[in-house]
């Protein structure tokens, strides 16, 4: 064979080998990529394993805290705060001081945040006839404390800025078609009604005095770290989602047989609940009989707003003018940070021009909740603590997501004597900032109505 022919043959073999080699390498690369990525890839499995390991560690830590709380049979002191029996401080970095937002866990796994109220803002040297229970002789002292507290939190007592709703805490109930208060109730039967905020007249007075006396003695009170959630819905498994779809889709038939309310991360919010029902659920959340849990009174809500203003990086307008910086509203983009975050939608039906709540709770697969259009279509309700953006001083979702019932009364004889506070997922951040309040009728219960317990 001639030299030129041999050179061509060798060159041809080299090119073919090179092409084959490249093809083999591409195949191997494809196999490697498929092995590393994809639903069953090594990287995906590693990430899943890490998430499961992190979840297991959190669960173990939570169980240890619950066990400690269960062993705490008496009040203890931690960093200057009295920790109630049946509770234990988390002692986590960023959660262990009043300036950070002190967090404690109770024996049931519920999480609470301490709201400091400076004793310097309250009258000095008040002595109560009855330190814990109700006494007519203590009414004047409690009224003077309330007056001082309203002066301290006066930026928020009218609701959001410009609302002018300077309501007073007052018991109320519905008797047939009429609303009654302590001053208008003429019969003992009327005073025993619970058709307003869920308390009889005497129960309301006792609860209010107990709250004021505890606040004065301890320099603050506890609130749920999260909005009230439905027990059994903190996971992202189908069982949790199914329970959420059942319990958050319509009116509860009987609050006595309904799931418990919890203050825990990743729970589906306890919505479609009336004010009186919310109070009954909140009352059952106290970890120990030495303390009372209830819906928050109006003055407590105002004091939380003031606490956030004083201790956090929020300023007054962030709380009572526009809370877009830290709340879940339809005009705000929310980054999802919890691996067990869940969501459901409120959508607009053009055919009948009405809004409907979709109870198809699903796990959030995207890392970000996008803002929706100005027509408020597909407004997104999130599970508790879904985003770190909504956390201020370790309190989640105090602005936006769900309106929250309080025990405050509006105006005698008005359409809606029940009062809720804060904002909601289907509202604009400037229309319902954190301090916002509004009156609603006693039978009202919707997808954007929930509550948050207080403990004292």
Which residue, 73, 107, 141, sits at the end of a domain?
Answer: 107
Range of the domain at 57: 42-107
C-alpha distance from residue 277 to each of 201, 273, 356 (Å): 17, 6, 23
> Can you give the pLDDT at residue 148?
98
Would you call 161 helix, strand, or coil by DSSP? coil
- Residue 309 confidence (pLDDT) above 50: yes
Return the minimum-mean-pLDDT range out of 246-255, 310-319, 406-415, 439-448.
406-415
Residue 55: inside a domain: yes
- What are the tens digits of pLDDT across the range 118-140? 999 999 999 999 988 899 999 99
Regarding whether 85 and 224 lie in a shared domain, the answer is no
Pick from 308-317, 347-356, 437-446 the range whose average pLDDT is largest: 308-317
Which tens digits make up the pLDDT trace of 266-286? 999 999 999 999 999 999 999
CA distances from 116 to 127, 293, 300 (A): 21, 17, 11
pLDDT in the model for residue 29: 74
Residue 344 domain-assigned?
Answer: no
Is 223 in the same domain as 140?
Answer: yes
Check whether residue 80 and residue 141 sit in a common domain: no
Do residues 126 and 71 both lie within one domain? no
The verdict on 297 and 408 lying in the same domain is yes
| Within-domain flag for 348 | no
pLDDT at 4 over 60: no
CA 39, 40, 44, 48 dihedral sign is: positive
Alpha helices per DSSP H over 284-436: 298-311, 316-320
pLDDT tops 50 at residue 374: no
Does residue 193 sit in the same domain as residue 267? Answer: yes
**Same-domain pairing of 77 and 126:** no
- 190-237: per-residue pLDDT in tens? 999 999 999 999 999 999 999 999 999 999 999 999 999 999 999 989
Average pLDDT, the chain: 88
Same domain, 69 and 186: no
Residue scoring higher pLDDT (452 or 374): 452
Burial letters for 65-96: b for 16+ Cβ neighbours within 10 Å, e otherwise? bbeebeebeeeeebeebebbbbbbbbeeeebb
Dist CA 175 CA 306 (whole Å): 36
């Amino acid at each position: 064979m001639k030299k030129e022919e041999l050179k061509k043959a060798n060159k041809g073999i080299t090119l073919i080998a090179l092409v084959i080699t490249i093809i083999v390498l591409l195949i191997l690369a494809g196999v490697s990529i498929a092995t590393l990525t994809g639903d069953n890839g090594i990287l995906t499995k590693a990430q899943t394993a890490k998430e499961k390991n992190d979840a297991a560690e959190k669960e173990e830590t939570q169980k240890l805290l619950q066990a400690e709380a269960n062993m705490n049979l008496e009040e203890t002191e931690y960093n200057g705060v009295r920790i109630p029996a049946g509770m234990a401080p988390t002692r986590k970095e960023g959660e262990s001081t009043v300036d950070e937002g002190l967090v404690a866990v109770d024996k049931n796994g519920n999480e609470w945040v301490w709201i400091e109220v400076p004793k310097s803002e309250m009258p000095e040297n008040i002595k109560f006839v009855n330190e814990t229970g109700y006494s007519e002789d203590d009414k004047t002292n409690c009224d003077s404390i309330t007056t001082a507290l309203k002066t301290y939190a006066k930026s928020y007592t009218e609701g959001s800025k410009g609302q002018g709703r300077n309501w007073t805490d007052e018991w109320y109930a519905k008797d047939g078609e009429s609303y009654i208060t302590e001053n208008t109730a003429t019969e003992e039967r009327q005073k025993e009604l619970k058709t307003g905020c869920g308390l009889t007249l005497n129960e309301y007075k006792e609860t209010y005095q107990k709250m004021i006396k505890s606040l004065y003695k301890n320099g603050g009170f506890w609130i749920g770290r999260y909005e009230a959630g439905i027990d059994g819905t903190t996971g992202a498994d189908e069982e949790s989602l199914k329970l959420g779809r059942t319990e958050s889709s319509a009116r509860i038939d009987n609050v006595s047989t309904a799931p418990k309310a919890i203050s825990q991360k990743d729970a589906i919010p306890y919505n479609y609940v009336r004010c009186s029902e919310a109070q009954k659920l909140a009352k059952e959340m106290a970890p120990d009989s030495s303390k009372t849990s209830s819906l928050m009174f109006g003055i407590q809500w105002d004091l939380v707003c003031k606490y956030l203003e004083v201790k956090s990086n929020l300023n007054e307008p962030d709380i009572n003018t526009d809370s877009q910086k830290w709340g879940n509203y339809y005009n705000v983009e929310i980054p999802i940070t919890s691996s067990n975050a869940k969501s459901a939608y409120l959508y607009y039906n053009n055919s009948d021009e009405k809004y409907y709540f979709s109870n198809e709770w699903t796990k959030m697969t995207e890392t970000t909740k996008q803002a929706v259009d100005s027509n408020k279509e597909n407004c997104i309700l999130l599970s508790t603590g879904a985003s770190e953006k909504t956390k201020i001083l370790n309190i989640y979702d105090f602005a936006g997501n769900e309106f929250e019932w309080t025990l405050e009364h509006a105006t005698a004889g008005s359409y809606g004597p029940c009062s809720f506070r804060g904002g909601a997922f289907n509202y604009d951040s400037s229309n319902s900032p954190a301090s916002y309040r509004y009156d609603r009728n006693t039978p009202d219960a919707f997808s954007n109505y929930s509550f948050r317990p207080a403990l004292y």
